[in-house]
Structure 1
Amino acid sequence: MTITQPSPVVADEPVISHGDDEIELISPDSLTAELVGRYTFLPVNGAAFVMQVMHPVIGDVVGKYSVFRTDPMGRAVRSIDSVMRWVYGGQEAIEEGKRLRRMHQPLQMRNAEGKHISALNPEAYQWVIGTAFPTSVAAAPLVLGREFTSAEEEEVYRDNVRIAKIVQVPMKGFPQTIEEFTPYFDNMIDNVLVAHPTALELVRQMQTAPRLDRAVPKPMVRFANTVARYASVPAQKLNYLTTVGVMDPRIREILGITWTDGEQRELERIHTAIRAAYRVLPERLTYFPLAYHARRQHDQIMKMKAREGSGAAYKVAGAAH
């Protein structure tokens, strides 16, 4: 495998790549909003994160600066908070995108070869969002019970480009269509991604019970960690199987992860049960709070707009036309 060395961010690389007028927000009633808001999106997001740190620049920067080792739960919560704002935050999505770019600007270092690298490396920053589409497509049969239609794939990809602009991804070289994305994705797998130590550490972490040292009072730490070790087994299994199961087989091969027919069947059984639960449980229990309220607000506004059409002024105007 040939590994290309990503070029560092030059000094004048703009932090803000898109003006507010260039950015389109994600509709709360879109397929993207329906899927991202579910709690079952968490392990799919985990798969994308593992793929992201397989990029040498991201793996190095995350390995040095991220707190995923010392505060994995906190990091996960903050990550999902950010994603929720991209999709459901309205104008806050734009501000969150700017915040992310500014936050990542100081994350610079020299890698093992002595090369200067930065979290704002354009190729690396693009790849962060690039991982969302293949994981979403691969997860559709688990989350929906079927594959996306061609029209749905196009819709999800258009939203992926919208999110890229929301989080200020430079567009030069970023695929704008699925037809452009396929060779881009193949090239990343064949020529860029590696079995980075940070990615391998993340996969191992998924199979380890979370420690609650920083989440509970000191006198309760030992007891809480013991409870977590046993109580987290079902969630760990769901997280690991979904994360690995939605990866492209070539990604698993790079990481040296085996995937058996038995694991695939177990993954499908788990998600079949989850889909059955989603059909009977209220959305308030199955969606992240911001997603739930944003979708409900949008529904109410749409109903208000529908009622407007029955007003006398609209009837008179319609007759006049």
Structure 2
Amino acid sequence: MTLTQPSPVVPDDAVISHADDEIELVPPDSLTAELTGRFTFLPVNGAAFVMQVMHPVIGDVVGKYSVYRTDPLGRAIRSIDSVLRWVYGGQEAIEEGKRLRRMHRPLQMRNAEGRHISALDPEAYQWVIATAFPTSCSAAPLILGRDFTEAEREEVFRDNRRIAKIVQVPMRGYPESIDEFGPYFDDMVENTLIAHPVAIDLIEQMQAAPRLDGAVPPAVVRLANTVARVASVPVQKLNYLTTVGVMDPRVREILGLSWTTDEQRELERIHAAIRLSYRVLPERLTYFPLAYHARRHHAAIQAMKRREGAGAAYKVDRSHGQVTTS
């Protein structure tokens, strides 16, 4: 039996940027919580991930360390698990943020130019969280059927900064307002983002049918792959069109991706049908399980507060200072 040495414990002060009492959780009844909990959040998250790996540092580190090529489904599930904990996890959100910082600390390498780079590079780590804001705003007409109001944009941006602190992003240089975010985003697009091979791989992966080799008995693998190829077509189309459709046109241009009027219309038709389904289907079928139960829990607490305000366990006769039980 081969014994392995335990990984060294990294002290908190080496990776933690924000103390627990500096962190605000995302309100469970916020617009951010509502949208993140929906299954339709997946392709929007995919668009953000593609933009993240267009940052040279993130792209290089993901290309070297990530299992997105060998275990794309598992990576996607673990990624969405983490995001859901940031939004719905309560105290667990804070612990998940610390875990992510510790997990990314060893991801260091030398790039093609021989420069030492790290997954915790402040600019790159900030960009990972920043991508959620423009993709959420671009996806609003698809998911809600309309653009965000100004108040909603402010709320979503405020929650973006909350999440940045939850996952221990160093906030120096991170946009403090929507007015600051515009120039920040423009500078990243125009001067930093590239058509990184990992981003190109991800786009191609979205258009490829899943392979089930090794996941099913050899005797049925050919049939299983055929079924998977046919069955995955609608999901692939939704994923690809949403991912590319919510990108800034300049980002698509960097990646060499075309976008036609017909594709835009098809994207809008698909999401119009999805919005209709969300109006008639029960939440249990349209929200991730953690989101569904968190929303139900919050609704139950709010109902209790309303009952508390409607009556009392005691009646107080204020004129005589007497208390009688109800």
TM-score if structure 2 supplies the norm length? Answer: 0.91
Letter of the aligned partner of 2:64 in structure 1?
A: K
How far did 1:60 drift? 0.2
Give the residue type in structure 1 aligned to 2:176: Q
Query: How many angstroms apart in 1 are the aligned matches of 2:317 and 2:153?
Result: 39
Give how far 1:312 is off.
3.1
Alpha-carbon distance in structure 2 between the residues aligned to 1:158 and 1:204:
34
| Structure 2 match to 1:208 | 208
Pick which of 268-277 and 204-213 moved more: 204-213
Greater Rg, structure 1 or structure 2? 2
The corresponding residue for 1:289 is 289
Relative to 1, partners in 2 of residues 1:221 and 1:148: Cα closer, same or farther, differing over 3 Å?
Answer: same
**Which residue does the alignment assign to 1:4?**
none
CA distance in 2, matches of 1:208, 1:218: 21
**Would the aligned equivalents of 1:73 and 1:210 in 2 still touch at CA under 8 Å?**
no
Q: Secondary structure at the match of 1:109?
A: strand
**Change in 2 beyond 3 A, CA 1:296/1:214:** farther
Q: CA deviation at 1:313?
A: 5.5
Q: Provide the C-alpha distance between the structure 2 equivalents of 1:47 and 1:271, rounded to a whole number of angstroms.
A: 16
Distance 1:238-1:142 versus aligned 2 partners, 3 A rule: same
Deviation at 1:215, TM superposition (A): 4.0
How do 1:153-302 residues align onto structure 2 when only pairs under 5 Å count?
153-213=153-213, 215-302=215-302
Asked if 1:71 corresponds to 2:83, the answer is no
**Number of the residue aligned with 1:92:** 92
Corresponding residue for 1:28? 28
Distance 1:289 1:230, change over 3 A: same
Q: How far apart, CA to CA, are the structure 2 residues paired with 1:171 and 1:87?
A: 19
CA distance in 2, matches of 1:20, 1:143: 33
What does the per-residue CA deviation read over 1:13-61, in whole Å, with 9 as the maximum and x for residues that have no partner? Answer: 9411111001111111100011010000000000000000000000000
Q: How far is the alpha carbon of 1:84 from its aligned partner?
A: 0.5
8 Å CA contact retained: 1:144, 1:275 = yes
CA distance in 2, matches of 1:302, 1:44: 30
- Partner residue of 2:45? 45
Take 2:155 and 2:279, find their aligned partners in 1: how far apart are those partners? 24
SS of match in other structure, 2:15: coil
CA distance, structure 2, for counterparts of residue 235 and residue 138 of structure 1:
20
Partners of 1:185 and 1:33 lie apart in 2 by: 23
**CA deviation profile, 1:135-182 (whole Å, cap 9, x unmatched):** 000000000000000000000000000000000000010111111111
Distance 1:45 1:216 in 2: 29
Runs of 4+ in structure 1 off by over 6 angstroms are 317-320
Task: Tell me if 1:108 matches 2:137.
Answer: no
**Unmatched tracts of structure 1, length 5 or more:** 1-11
Distance 1:222 1:21 in 2: 55
Cα deviation for residue 117 of structure 1 reads 0.4
Distance 1:217 1:96 in 2: 37
State the 1:230 CA deviation. 0.8
Q: Which amino acid aligns with 1:171?
A: M
The AA in structure 1 aligned to 2:34 is E
For 1:77, give the aligned amino acid: I
| SS of residue in 1 equivalent to 2:42 | helix
CA distance, structure 2, for counterparts of residue 81 and residue 246 of structure 1: 22
**Alignment partners' CA distance in 1, 2:47 and 2:292:** 23
Segments of 5+ residues of structure 2 without an aligned counterpart are 1-11, 322-326
- For 2:123, the equivalent position in structure 1 comes to 123
Q: What is the aligned partner in structure 2 of residue 151 from structure 1?
A: 151
Greater shift after overlay, 213-222 or 228-237?
A: 213-222
Q: 1:317 to 1:200 in 2, by over 3 A?
A: farther
Corresponding residue SS for 1:309: helix
SS at match of 1:28: coil
* TM superposition shift of 1:223: 2.8
1:69-105 deviation line (CA, Å, top 9, x unaligned): 0110000000000001000011110010000000000
Count matched residues: 309
SS at 2:112's partner residue? Answer: coil
Offset of 1:315 from its aligned partner?
6.2
Deviates more, 1:217-226 or 1:250-259: 217-226
Take 1:77 and 1:293, find their aligned partners in 2: how far apart are those partners?
18
